Amino acid sequence: MRYDLTDLRLFVAIAVSGSISGGAEDCHLAPSSASLRLKTLEQDLGTKLFDREVRGVKLTPAGVVMLEHARRCLADLEQMHAHLAPYAEGVVGHVTLFANSSAIASFLSDDLERFLMDNPKVRVVLEEKLSHDIIAAVADGRADIGVVTWENVHPGLTFHDYREDELVVLSKRRRQDSLPPTLSFLDCLKFPFISLQSGAAIHTFLAGKASSVGHRMDVRIQVGSFASIVALVRSGAGIAIVPRSVLRPMECDGVAVSQLKEEWANRRLRLCVPRHREISAYAVSMLDNLLRAGSASKA
């Protein structure tokens, strides 16, 4: 294959502009040069990418497929440059940390503070995932450290106790007809829910629990943050089940907090790292910082 990145950029520019001359102008090429490059590209690929029309060009079916892949290749290239740019500015390493939604919303911002202060030139990639996805990512080497609610063992991972949390029920505080101080999950399923977006770890977990007892959650509104959940519960739009820890920094006046009498409402957060594969010194330092923060919270 003799085509290069300039050919891919030119192909995308022609597709967007609808003309060879327009694509050539966008790529700072002469129309004759652009036309020759496109002809050579089509010869190398063995198929026509454009149909020539009176007022420009139109993608062929093969061209539509090519456009999707070309855009993805160029986007991946830009992402590569974005990831490498910090190293040119003095970044010395990176740590990839996967965690569930409650850990990110509650503990991690404070618990990472010391590590970030001590390591200003270390880049941290923090992603929200479901616990079983985190387990797989750490085991496969796609993440250095995971924060999970996971009570099982895994042959490829070592687990450390980190934090304890509890799922609680939020409802609008009323003078009358308030929810009881303790209630079951089945009781909760009688009410409309305010929830995080589909795909969020806590939403998927609760939807799974509802399915396991033969019910569905009546999700009235889905939002992007726990703060929005609290505000909507305060308005009376519905109830919510959230980790108690996420309520600490929030203004919760007008919101009643009830206990959920299910064993799974008590959640033990654990840190996991590879058992048989070394992680970087920066990842070890982060792990130590998180363990110290977790221990200090229990003292």
What's the rounded Cα separation, in Å, for the pair 8 and 4? 7
What's the rounded Cα separation, in Å, for the pair 220 and 108? 29
Q: What pLDDT, on a 0 to 100 scale, did the predictor assign at position 121?
A: 84
Q: What is the pLDDT of residues 273-296, one digit of tens each?
A: 999 889 999 999 999 999 999 888
Last residue of a domain, one of 88, 120, 148: 88
Q: Are residues 198 and 51 in the same domain?
A: no
Give SS3 for 160. Answer: strand
Last residue of a domain, one of 31, 59, 88: 88
Quote the number of domains for the chain: 3
Name 46's Cβ contacts closer than 8 Å, sequence gap at least 6.
Answer: none
Q: Are residues 30 and 104 in the same domain?
A: no
Residue 191 CA neighbour count, 13 Å, CB half: 21
Last residue of a domain, one of 59, 88, 117: 88
Q: Are residues 257 and 283 in the same domain?
A: no
Structural domain including 138 reads: 93-163+267-298
Q: Are residues 180 and 234 in the same domain?
A: yes
Q: What is the pLDDT of residues 12-71, one digit of tens each?
A: 999 999 999 999 999 999 999 999 999 999 999 999 999 988 888 999 999 999 999 999
